Structure 1
Amino acid sequence: MNKDNKKYGVLLVNLGTPDAPTATGVKQFLSQFLHDHRVVDMTRWLWCPILHGVILPIRSPKVAKLYQSVWMEDGSPLMVYSKRQQKALTDILQVPVELGMTYGNPSTQSGLERLKQQGCDKVLVLPLYPQYSGTTTAAVFDRIAKDLKSISFIPELRFINHYYDHPDYISALAETAKTVWAEKGEPDYLLCSYHGIPKRYADNGDPYPDHCNGTTELLAKMLEMPREKMSMSYQSIFGREEWLKPYTEGTIKSLAENGVKRLDVMCPAFSVDCLETLEEIAEQCKEVFIEAGGVEFNLIPCLNDSQAHITMMENLVKQHVQGWK
């Protein structure tokens, strides 16, 4: 804190999660998420009837059951791990760190308000998306801009839009994989599965696939993993249009059919374990692998609140707040 009692604070932002693993809770969350033009850019008059008349009524109960299968004692895995990250980063930085979600609770607006109440006139926004995408990182920027529209005095802002190639991030990923391998041995093959986006978005300039490729290349070098034993794919495909390829499920099936017996999968685009890693990868994709002839399937955990991840976040924050007191 400097002499005029002003200081900087950090707003950690992730996608969000339902408040409860119920059809109602999931419907509320998906409604807000899928209304975002950054996520689905269809004309509203065409998209909204489909969303409210077909997608939400059908998907909400199904997705709620999936959430129930991974729900933790203290809530959604994404929320539990995000709160642990917030606490750990607060302890190590000794400055206010608040949590905000692009969709759902706690909102980014409430996070900004809590920082203001703690005397922060400077705010570093850290979206927890290592690889930039308009569907995620830019959506955070939009949300922050909207939150500030009704505020008379806007704090000085800095915004981190990616860290896909940060040495500490790559090192943390490698350390997580090596920890698993120290216990279980190295796999026949390592697959990096990233959340997908429509191919059209990338064709229109979204650098996300380049960032994903960059992370994978750097990780392969740090792990000294031959590229014939490691590749990347895209998961969580939604809708009928073409998304970035190759698709994770098809890749996993093909690997098993081609003789890979032990497959490890890690999800570098996710800063915390969530439905997409704990259920889609660890359950659904494991089943695909085994049914196609695979023998052993392991999900390498996300970075979560590991010490290496918190150290990376600490160094990233310190890098971006230089000149602030």
Structure 2
Amino acid sequence: MSKWFYPEPQTSPTLTGVLLINLGTPAAPTAAAVRPFLREFLSDQRVIELPRWLWQLILRGVILPIRSGKSAQAYRSIWQENGSPLLTETQALTTALAQQLPHDIVTKFAMTYGEPSVSSVIQQMKEAGVSKLVVLPLYPQYAASSSGAALDQVWRVLLQQRTQMAVQSIPSFFADPAYIKLMARHIRHFWQEHERGQRLLFSFHGIPLAHHTAGDDYVRQCQATVQLLAEELNLTKNEYQLAFQSRFGYAPWVGPNTQDLFVQLPQAGVTKVDVICPGFVTDCLETLEEINIRGRADFLAHGGELFNYIPCMDATKEWVEVLFSVLKKQW
């Protein structure tokens, strides 16, 4: 059987395509739907860097039977009438961005895990005549386990194309001036409408310490984003803090850990906090459930008095303009 999986269109006008890639989401907030999503996500060796045979025994025998139900319960706490917030907001963001881009640019989104898959969306774009593809993983800061994993999916598709597309990727935009200025403006606007906390906590998705020591640039990029935002907001050192959330398993992860800080800060006299997640383009399980539900509960249970979650920009006009400016530099 030929290794070339995709049939090539007979005629192909020269079009440019923009592909946005987000992490992904289960199709429903049930254990039955969460299980295959987690299996695909946690089977990616960009995410879990253990010998595959060993990890698959652990994953299928221990992790999935336990975690699928717990994750489904967490998804149910944030699920909306029209579906997963990550999916609906990514759809809305893609639609809004398409309206900003030139009309002859084909703009679509895909998910690293789950549907719509990267392979199916790229095939649709190629059949529509796209011969040049600009890929933007929806992560401002590059990590091998997020942006790297998303781009891996693109390269796998290219390996199956007889006539390959020209592809240009945007691995990160952590220090982009438009991104920094908008995030700072977003925070200031929130402060104008709400009581301001004693400390602004910048919470990013964490990575295992082993990824960092192996040379992953993610922590440095998160630090750079926070430093630029602190300068833009004129914050003193005791007015903000960088932390990392979503720790998984027993191996060491980069820190400080956001969840630990929700317990420690009230004990240190910081009873009013504002939390923002600059590494997430759209609100999702990690921001809505992990931070705004569980994080809030932990902070208040340990002596906290005020917990403000500053939401993601999602598909707002200003955020679309930032992504447009990032993409425009590629033309």
TM-score normalised over the length of structure 2: 0.94
| Letter paired with 1:17 | T
Match of 2:299 among 281, 289, 293: 289
- How do 1:1-325 residues align onto structure 2 when only pairs under 5 Å count? 5-93=13-101, 94=103, 95-321=105-331
Taking the aligned partners of 2:230 and 2:324, their CA distance within structure 1 comes to 24
Q: Is the 8 A contact 1:33 1:39 kept in 2?
A: yes
What per-residue deviation string (whole Å, max 9, x for no partner) do you get for residues 133-185 of structure 1?
11111111211111222221111110001100001111121122122111113
Alpha-carbon RMSD across the aligned residues, in angstroms, is 1.1
The 8 Å contact of residues 233 and 248 in structure 1, kept in 2 or not, is answered as yes
Residue of structure 1 in register with 2:8 after alignment: none
CA distance in 1, matches of 2:197, 2:306: 9
Report how many residues are paired: 318
Query: Which amino acid letter does the alignment assign opposite residue 67 of structure 1?
Result: Y
Following the alignment from structure 2 to structure 1, what is the Cα–Cα distance between the partners of residues 242 and 262?
Answer: 11
Deviation, 1:114, is 2.2
How many Å separate the matches in 2 of 1:317 and 1:117?
23
Does the CA contact (< 8 Å) of 1:172 and 1:303 recur in 2?
no
Return the letter of the residue paired with 2:294.
Q
Q: Which runs of 5+ in 1 are unaligned?
A: none
Amino acid at match of 1:114: Q
> How far apart are the structure 1 equivalents of 2:318 and 2:147?
23
Q: Identity percentage over the alignment?
A: 39
The structural deviation recorded for 1:207 is 0.4
Letter of the 1:319 counterpart: K
Q: Are 2:158 and 2:165, in contact at CA under 8 Å, matched by a contact in 1?
A: no
> 1:48: how far off?
0.5
Instruction: Please list the CA deviations of residues 2-61 of structure 1 after superposition, one character each: whole Å capped at 9, or x if unmatched.
Output: xx9422110000110001111011101000000000000111121111100100000001
2:26 maps to a residue whose letter is P
More off after superposition, 112-121 vs 199-208 = 112-121
Corresponding residue SS for 2:241: strand
- The 3-state SS of whatever aligns with 1:70 is coil
1:150 is paired with a residue whose SS is: coil
Shift of residue 293 of structure 1? 1.0
User: Contact 1:235–1:249 (CA<8 Å) still a contact in 2?
Assistant: yes
Question: Shift of residue 314 of structure 1?
Answer: 0.4
For 1:245 and 1:196, locate their aligned partners in 2 and report how far apart those are by CA, in whole Å. 8
Structure 1 segments (4+ residues) deviating >2 Å: none
Of the structure 1 ranges 302-311 and 121-130, higher mean CA displacement relative to structure 2 is found in: 302-311
CA distance in 2, matches of 1:141, 1:184: 39
Counterpart residue identity of residue 23, structure 1: A
Point out where structure 2 has 5 or more consecutive residues left out of the alignment.
1-11
Deviations 1:225-274 (A, max 9, x none): 21211011010000001000100011122211122232110011111100
Whole-angstrom distance in 1 between the partners of 2:281 and 2:327: 16
**CA distance, structure 1, for counterparts of residue 234 and residue 124 of structure 2:** 44
Say which SS state the counterpart of residue 145 (structure 2) adopts: coil
